[in-house]
């Protein structure tokens, strides 16, 4: 599908019809140089989101409502979101290699 998206970008658009039904439209522009397994993962991801939206719309709306409340309570001072400052014991454990690292995606 031809589109004007920047390279390595995926888009999910929700279009609300006159009958209040939501149509989910996908667009992808993944680089031809991207690893095939990675590209398939991302295409599967966006298709999974497309299928999940109608099934889980109430859940997503509830999460969105809670997120908006949290953002409103945090105010303008916290534009960066919640700041994480690691405990000194965690930093020491990382330094001593006592922490297990995970890949960016687990499947």
pLDDT of residue 30: 95
Alpha helices in the chain (DSSP H): 36-74, 88-95
Q: What is the mean pLDDT of the chain?
A: 85
CA geometry: angle at 95 spanning 94 and 97, to 5°?
60
Predicted confidence (pLDDT) at residue 78 exceeds the cutoff of 60: no
Confidence at 20, pLDDT banded by 50, 70, 90? confident
Separation of alpha carbons 28 and 42, rounded Å:
9
Burial 3-41 (b: 16+ CB within 10 A, else e): eeeeeeeeeeeeeeeeeeeeeeeeebebeeeeeeeebee
Separation of alpha carbons 48 and 71, rounded Å:
27
Counting residues of the chain whose pLDDT is more than 90, the rounded percentage is 55
Residues 49-64 pLDDT 10s? 999 998 999 999 999 9
């Amino acid at each position: 599908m031809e589109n004007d998206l920047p390279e390595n970008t995926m888009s999910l658009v929700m279009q609300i019809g006159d009958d209040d039904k939501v149509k989910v439209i996908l667009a992808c522009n993944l680089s031809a140089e991207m690893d095939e397994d990675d590209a398939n993962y991302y295409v599967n991801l966006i298709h999974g989101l497309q299928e999940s939206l109608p099934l889980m719309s109430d859940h997503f709306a509830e999460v969105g409502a809670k997120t908006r409340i949290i953002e409103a309570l945090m105010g303008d001072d916290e534009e960066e979101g919640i700041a994480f400052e690691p405990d000194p014991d965690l930093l020491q454990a990382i330094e001593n290699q006592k922490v297990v690292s995970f890949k960016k995606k687990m499947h």
